[in-house]
Chains A and B, each alone.
Chain A
Amino acid sequence: MRARNKAQIALTYFLLISLGLVFVFPFFWMISTALKPIEKTMSITPHLLVLPLQFKNFWKCLNYENFTFTVYARNTLYLCFLSVAGIVLSSSYVAYGFSRVRWKGRDALFLMTLSTMMIPFPVLMIPLYSLFRRYGWVGSFKPLWVPCFFGGAFSIFLLTQFFKTIPHELTEAAYVDGAGDFRIYWQIILPLAKPALLVVALFQFMGTWNDFLGPLIYLPDQSTFTLAVGLQFFQSQHGGTEWNLLMAASTLVILPVMILFFLTQKSFVEGIALTGLKG
């Protein structure tokens, strides 16, 4: 029994480490390519690492022909900021109504909210486009962030589940002292729900940072590109040639997300696990 267990553990480590290497390798390869001079990327026998490292590739692609990283980054951050603010404020406000007040029709509306997550984006995309076109919003950032201020099904769901776990005794006292619901939401629930709010904010940030189809539809002008669309544009112009610059640009787009992950790792992983378990 003992020996078998040992063999089992050894096999587990072997599998985990070899799979882990496979999972890490693409990252390594991306960064190593980003740090190579162009001739070295085009060799039939690949070089794992070429010295000296060409850090200037990163500088070069910050403002290269057809890839104005700084402009795209500013656009993306602007959108991320507004969508995160919108989603966190509106979804928490709405979730209060779904979790802390009992009213007729609440559960039906909540069920309906959940079922909207099933609707594929292509169904919504055409009427939304023609709606925003009528407002003259196409070409501006508004179609991508204004809807966030009305709440999102997923974040409302997540926050509702979380708010339900906050004991009523905590809000009861405030009621007795004559506090209104808005004050209870703002001064008691929100501070207690910080971990859940962080998860919602993170997911929204990632969603906006990654979104490709939305900006592709609404932002046709190069000066309004986000990083995702800008990177795709860069690849369509320089694809198949300057792989070192393409990898440097990709690294720059990935890096902020990775940094954010490492800063908030615990809530991030907990949040993901939560979505699955409560689902």
Chain B
Amino acid sequence: MTRGERQNLIKGLRFTFPWILGLLLFVLYPVLASLYYSLTNFNVFLKPVFIGLENYKNLFEDTLFWTTTSNTLFYAIIALPLSMVCALGIAILLNQPVKMRSVFRTIFFLPSLVPLVALAILWLWIFNGQYGILNFALRKILLPLGLDAPNWIGDPRFTKPALILMGLWGVGGSVVIYLAALQDVPAHLYEAAEIDGAGALVKFRHVTLPLISPVIYFNFVMGIIGTLQIFAVPYVMFQRGPANSTYFYSMYIYDNAFKYLKMGYASALAWIMFLLIFLLTLVATRISRSRIYYGGEQ
């Protein structure tokens, strides 16, 4: 290392040391400690007692582990693609030559700013079985057909669809990201495609999609991380919900850790989630590597 290199290293460390400390204290230490706790019996008041893989073995026989896992996966598998498609659809509409684009953009964006607890309470009121405005409207359509409006809050078949539906109200953040990406697609590419006789669908498939693929990938990875951790909204709206239908994985971790003080078991649960998120991100990255078009940069 030359003298200049050493000086630069010292300079670099001088500026990054708060973060290096933070990384060690608030990320690296907790990750390792959580891995260790997952191998112990730990209630926070007494020292953890090492029990090997006992917690992980118990997972398999724990019906609530399976219930919360399947609830969470079901929610993620439906909600994530659906919200991505809706967000992209709205962004495409906004990308047309319309007047007052920024007004529309603001309208679609605002709901995504609503704090989650307020969001949950607002939708609890909209979904209300007796006085809810949604079922009032639905009954107008469904009753003549001989059907009744769904019981969004009390029927285990409808609680998750209710969460998915209201989740769509919050797609505005992704809409803004997609719209920015769409506006970055150079117009001459569309013109070239048109000269070659491409229709709207062909243009979308062969010009738009490849060019916005990095953003789709980004939204997908962020979406996985977010949806698998869903907590506040179901916690406020339903708690576990009828027949545990809205008992999600993060809620189960929270209950084990802070209600039953089974911190070791909760850590094992958390690590399973970590591994799942890690694997899914890895798979998404692998797939994307062959499918994503990164301009001229890489």
Contacts and interface: CB of A to CB of B under 8 A. Distances in A.
A, B co-complexed: yes
Interface of A: 8-9, 12-13, 15-16, 19-20, 23-24, 26-27, 29-30, 33, 41-46, 90-91, 93-94, 96-98, 101-106, 109, 112-113, 116-131, 133, 147, 149-151, 156, 181, 185, 206, 209-210, 212-213, 217, 227-229, 231-232, 235, 239, 243, 246-247, 250, 253-254, 257-258, 261, 265, 269, 272-277, 279
Contact of B218 (A147, A246, A279): A279
Interface string B258-276: 1000010011011101100
Interface stretch (B57-65, B74-82, B117-125, B202-210): B117-125
A33 B125 CA distance: 10
B185 to A, nearest CB: 12
Interface of B: 1, 5, 8-9, 11-16, 18-23, 25-27, 29-31, 33-34, 37, 44, 90, 93-94, 96-98, 104-111, 113-118, 120-126, 128, 130-131, 133, 136, 169, 173-174, 176-181, 184, 214-215, 218-219, 222, 225, 228-229, 231-232, 235-236, 250, 253-254, 257-258, 263, 266-267, 269-271, 273-274, 277-278, 281
Given A181-B15, A229-B117, 15 more contacts: A101-B8, A105-B9, A105-B12, A119-B27, A120-B228, A122-B269, A123-B273, A125-B30, A125-B270, A127-B31, A131-B30, A209-B115, A235-B124, A250-B122, A279-B222
B11 A276 contact: no
B30 A128 contact: yes
B215 A277 contact: yes
Contact of B18 (A90, A98, A116, A258): A90
A128 B258 CA distance: 13
A254 B131 contact: no
A104 B9 contact: yes
A40 to B, nearest CB: 10
B18 A149 contact: yes
B26 A124 contact: yes
A26 B263 contact: no
Given A118-B225, A254-B114, A126 B270 contact: yes
Chain B interface mostly: helix
Given A126-B267, A243-B125, A253 B104 contact: no
Contacts of A101: 8, 11-12, 15
A12 B93 CA distance: 6
